[in-house]
């Protein structure tokens, strides 16, 4: 019974998210474009699938994944687990947090693979590139970027170094890469930074950030708990451009080796 109540709540919240879009499209179709909406029945069935699917997805995540994610984040960042003693820790050893970095990387990778908006963008990219950009290739590249970003982000919380230094350095890398990466990938690479951070990744990452910031001595959850999402946004951009550069370089080299210019 409890679950049905929760599910209806989530379903209503999803409907509320869709409502502005429905109103906007209806207003524009009827008042501005003054035309009938093409293939309306299919559209309605599709929209019901989107709302129902997203609500089920979120309800399942809240039931299964998020509680586990929170428990695991607390267990892994618990000083008793990390240092193996119950004594009060005064000195932070960043090397002791190895499992935390590994967990951050792996959960970041896995969450990005499951992220519906990344699936949507990868699907579109595959369609408009006429198959040159493979759906899985893009998703795995982006997920690898999230993995690297998050383990670096957790290291930052443990070591207490200032956030802006990392972000500024990351932006510098992005800017330099932009001048060397193939032009066709740049817009997509920038976009992949924004898509990794929605339904699945944000709650898992937020739990990890807050868990760490509240157990590592000397960290303030209010200040240090933020910023992990920024890492998850920045590194996919670097990963996608880097991968495109690598592929570009490989093709050029194999052409050279074959004597074709």
Partner 1 sequence: MKSMIFSIILKKLKDALTDLLPIVLVIAFFQIVVIQQPLPQMGEVLFGALLVVVGLSLFIQGLEMSLFPIGEAMAQALARKGSLFWLLSFAFALGFSTTVAEPALIVVAAKAADIAGQGGLIDPSEESLKQYAFGLRMSVAFSVGLAILIGVIRILRGWPIHYMIIGGYGLVMAMTTIAPQEIIGIAYDAGGVTTSTITVPLVAALGVGLASTIRGRSPLVDGFGLIAFASLMPMIFVMGYGLFIFR
**Quick one: 91 or 179, whose CB is closer to partner 1?**
179
Does 239 participate in binding partner 1 (rule CB under 8 A)? Answer: no
Quick one: which segment of 39-47, 89-97, 243-251, 252-260 binds partner 1 (CB under 8 A)?
A: 39-47
Whether 83 contacts 89, CB under 8 Å: yes
Residue 87, CA distances (Å) to 48, 62, 83, 130 in order: 55, 34, 9, 60
Distance of alpha carbon 16 from alpha carbon 19, whole angstroms:
5
Whether 196 contacts 113, CB under 8 Å: no
Sign of CA dihedral 241, 247, 249, 251: negative
Strand locations in the chain (E): none
Distance of alpha carbon 200 from alpha carbon 113, whole angstroms:
10
Residues between 199 and 218 that touch partner 1 (CB under 8 A) = 199-200, 202
Least distance from partner 1 to the Cβ atom of residue 255, Å = 22
CB proximity list for 110: less than 8 A, separation 6 or greater? 143
**Quick one: 62 or 89, whose CB is closer to partner 1?**
62
Does 15 participate in binding partner 1 (rule CB under 8 A)? Answer: no
The footprint of partner 1 on this chain (CB under 8 A) covers a number of residues equal to 103
Does 249 participate in binding partner 1 (rule CB under 8 A)? Answer: no
Least distance from partner 1 to the Cβ atom of residue 90, Å = 25
Does 191 participate in binding partner 1 (rule CB under 8 A)? Answer: yes
Does 11 participate in binding partner 1 (rule CB under 8 A)? Answer: no
Place of tokens 């207490």: 160
**Quick one: 67 or 217, whose CB is closer to partner 1?**
67
**Quick one: 9 or 93, whose CB is closer to partner 1?**
9
**Quick one: 37 or 256, whose CB is closer to partner 1?**
37
According to CB under 8 A, which one of 8, 12, 30, 68 is a site residue for partner 1?
68
Distance of alpha carbon 138 from alpha carbon 130, whole angstroms:
14
Cα-Cα-Cα-Cα torsion 230, 233, 236, 238, nearest 10 degrees, comes to -60
Letters for 86-125 (x = contact with partner 1 by CB under 8 A, - = none) are -------------x---x--xx-xxx-xx-xx-xxx-xxx
Q: How many CB atoms lie within 10 A of CB 49?
A: 10
Structure token digits, residue 113: 């693979």
Does 173 participate in binding partner 1 (rule CB under 8 A)? Answer: no
Residues between 125 and 144 that touch partner 1 (CB under 8 A) = 125, 127-129, 133
Three-state SS for 87?
coil
Residues between 147 and 166 that touch partner 1 (CB under 8 A) = 163-164
Least distance from partner 1 to the Cβ atom of residue 18, Å = 6
Least distance from partner 1 to the Cβ atom of residue 46, Å = 3
């Amino acid at each position: 019974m409890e679950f049905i109540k929760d599910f209806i709540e989530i379903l209503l919240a999803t409907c509320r998210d869709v409502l502005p879009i429905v109103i906007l499209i209806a207003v524009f179709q009827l008042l501005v474009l003054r035309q009938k909406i093409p293939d309306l029945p299919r559209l309605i069935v599709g929209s019901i699938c989107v709302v129902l699917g997203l609500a089920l997805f979120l309800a399942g995540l809240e039931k299964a994944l998020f509680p586990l994610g929170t428990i695991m984040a607390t267990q892994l960042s618990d000083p008793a687990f990390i240092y193996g003693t119950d004594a009060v820790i005064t000195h932070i050893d960043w090397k002791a947090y190895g499992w935390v970095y590994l967990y951050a990387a792996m959960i970041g990778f896995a969450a990005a693979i499951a992220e519906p908006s990344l699936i949507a963008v990868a699907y579109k990219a595959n369609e408009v590139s006429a198959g040159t950009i493979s759906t899985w290739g893009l998703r795995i590249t982006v997920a690898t970027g999230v993995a690297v970003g998050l383990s670096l982000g957790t290291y930052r919380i443990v070591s207490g170094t200032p956030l802006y230094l990392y972000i500024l350095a990351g932006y510098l890398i992005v800017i330099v890469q932009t001048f060397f990466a193939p032009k066709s990938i740049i817009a997509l690479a920038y976009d992949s930074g924004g898509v990794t951070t929605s339904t699945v990744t944000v709650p898992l990452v937020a739990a990890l950030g807050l868990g760490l910031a509240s157990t590592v001595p000397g960290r303030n959850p209010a200040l240090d708990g933020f910023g992990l999402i920024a890492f998850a946004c920045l590194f996919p951009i670097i990963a996608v451009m880097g991968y495109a550069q690598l592929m570009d370089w490989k093709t050029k080299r194999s052409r050279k080796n074959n004597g074709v210019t």
